[in-house]
Amino acid sequence: MDSAMTTGMHHHLIAGKDVASPASFESRNPSRQDDLVGVFPEATLDQVRLACDVARSAYAGWRTTPAPIRGQIIGQIGRAIEREQEPLSRLMSREMGKTLKEARGDVQEAIDTCHFFQSEGRRLYGQTVPSEMRNKELMTYRRPLGVVGVITAGNFPVAVPSWKLIPALLTGNTIVWKPSEDAPTTAYALARLFEEGGLPDGVLNVVFGGGAGAAGEFLVEMLDEHRLDKIAFTGSTAVGRHIGAIAGRNLTHPTLELGGKNPMIVMRDADLDNAVVGALWAAFGTAGQRCTSLGNLILDEPIAAVFQERFLAAVATIKIGDPGRFDDVLYGPFINERFYHAWHAHYDWGRADGATLAYGRGRITAENRPTGYRGDPNSGLYGWPTVWTNVRPGMRIFQTETFGPTVNLVTVDGIDEAIAVANSVDYGLSSAIYTQNRLWAFTFKENIQAGMSSINNSTTGAEAHMPFGGIKGSGNGTRESGIWVLDHYTYWHGVNDELSGKLQLAQMDTEYGQMRAPYRVAPLADPR
């Protein structure tokens, strides 16, 4: 990765050219505010509009490029990302604060997505369908939608954009992407690798800036101007509802990947060592800043006390700090101040709800630090791992996504109550159960309200070729990844080809009447 990608003033990428804006914003390392990672232009409404118009002009050429050729370009992008995996991962870890191990996984998810979709360019199957007429053929085709707006979050700055960009491009759409202002340098470097892969100018355009009142909101407005045919968004449920309403009034189908308050059930027969490790990772990995992070840990009564004891002992050993300096930390800083404040506010809710604060003391500072903290906590925003006990469904901390290092422990009696409690939130993204009992695992699978479930594993860690997405407040039912995502970047086009040289009327000029019925049904009595 050349150093120009990661230093100094960056530009929007529109029509294959660098475009500047009058205003700019900075991206800083959340572990060390004195480390300036990049300076980025703040897109104006006119620039977002221009990017959409450029994508529209590029659409005709891109949609008619043979799909296997588009697939080959996706393959080339994948190889470019693979070559740059290490510098890209380091850049990501520096810019948004996840550990290097996790950053490598994030980049790997994009590489996996490229591998998957490269060969999808040689499938993109349609169907041939028998006609009810002689000398007539029916067939179906997947067609691209047109210009797609993509808005992504900073917690997975490579994986989550790739889930959208790669299938959208493979199926022949052109794109305007507004990456998160929390990881713009990582996004810029990724976009340059997409360019290197051989995308024609204007097929992928990138505009930088904030969300509300800025580039993100401008991009959504492009639906009302009929400059976009679709929008794909990963972020909060509140913003997702707003985008969904605008998309809906324009009769477009948005992709909405929203929040979660993901449950994990630990049953009385579970392998507790395994469950403790799984819960610890699910709740505190990425500092709880995954949409798939564990929110509610639901414990079956006979093991609740012993599990709680072992879990709290494990929480006390968690190592936290700047992942750029210490490679053994479980998690680093908050990605941004907004996430920190939202998480900090949950301490008030927990107290007001009457839950018991079993572990955690807010922001980590030099004077207020857990033993596992390494380095200088004042250089960034770090949160104590936080554990609440005596939590009940209905409490605000039980119901609301916190997006930070905190988990609620809830005690239940048996599988039926466990599932009912797990389902009693307005989200339905991910879920997990620890049990050795196959019937309980089956009952969970059948009844849990979630788009994704794990049996004896974490709520996080979806693989790149499985359908990713949720139900209820976690989204609108769209899925990312694997073959399922194709339906969200294409529409089905049914074609009938009349070869008979004459007008044959469907349903009317068929041969049904000439066929002998296999049995006779008594005719209905004449009503007259």
Footprint of ligand UN1 on this chain (CB under 6 A)?
109, 155-156, 159-160, 234, 290-292, 460-462
Residues 6+ apart with CB under 8 A from 231: 148, 149, 150, 151, 219, 220, 223, 243, 247, 252, 254, 255
CB of 292 to ligand UN1, least distance (A): 4
CB of 254 to ligand UN1, least distance (A): 16
CB of 106 to ligand UN1, least distance (A): 8
Output 104 or 227, the one with its CB closest to ligand UN1: 104
**What gap in Å lies between CA 279 and CA 28, rounded to an integer?**
31
CB of 181 to ligand UN1, least distance (A): 16
Output 113 or 171, the one with its CB closest to ligand UN1: 113
Q: Are 421 and 412 in contact (CB under 8 A)?
A: yes
Q: Specify burial of residue 365 (Cβ count, 10 A radius: 0-12, 13-18, 19+).
A: middle
**What gap in Å lies between CA 432 and CA 453, rounded to an integer?**
5
Count, residues in the chain: 528
The backbone region for 251, taken as left when phi is positive above 0, alpha when psi lies in -120 to 50, beta otherwise, is left
**What gap in Å lies between CA 171 and CA 173, rounded to an integer?**
6
Output 131 or 431, the one with its CB closest to ligand UN1: 431
CB of 19 to ligand UN1, least distance (A): 28
Helices (H), 354-480: 396-399, 415-422, 438-447
CB of 459 to ligand UN1, least distance (A): 8
CB of 183 to ligand UN1, least distance (A): 13
Angle at 47 between CA 45 and CA 49, to 5 degrees: 70
C-alpha 514 chain-centroid distance? 55
Q: Are 410 and 395 in contact (CB under 8 A)?
A: no
Catalytic (active site) residue 291: yes
Tell me the pairing of strands 386-389 and 356-359. antiparallel
Instruction: Give me 467's structure tokens.
Output: 């359908």
**What gap in Å lies between CA 511 and CA 515, rounded to an integer?**
7
Compute the chain's Rg from CA coordinates.
26
Spot the catalytic one: 95, 114, 181, 291.
Answer: 291
Output 118 or 289, the one with its CB closest to ligand UN1: 289
**What gap in Å lies between CA 363 and CA 357, rounded to an integer?**
15
List the beta bridge partners of residue 300: 412
CB of 52 to ligand UN1, least distance (A): 25
Give the helix/strand (H/E) hosting 103. helix 100-120
CB of 220 to ligand UN1, least distance (A): 19
Catalytic (active site) residue 257: yes
Output 290 or 346, the one with its CB closest to ligand UN1: 290
- The residue written with tokens 């009447």 in the block is 513
Cβ count near 462 (within 10 Å): 21
Spot the catalytic one: 42, 257, 401, 480.
Answer: 257
Output 151 or 415, the one with its CB closest to ligand UN1: 151
What dihedral do alpha carbons 82, 487, 289, 426 form, nearest 10°? Answer: -170
Output 291 or 418, the one with its CB closest to ligand UN1: 291
Output 174 or 180, the one with its CB closest to ligand UN1: 180
CB of 287 to ligand UN1, least distance (A): 12
Considering only CA atoms, which of 209, 160, 165, 194 is closest in space to residue 10? 209
Output 76 or 296, the one with its CB closest to ligand UN1: 296
Output 144 or 404, the one with its CB closest to ligand UN1: 404
With b meaning 16 or more CB within 10 Å and e meaning fewer, what string describes 388-404?
A: bbebebebebbbbbbbb
**What gap in Å lies between CA 95 and CA 230, rounded to an integer?**
29
DSSP annotation of 331 reads B
Local structure of 286: helix, strand or coil = helix
Q: Which residues are catalytic?
A: 257, 291
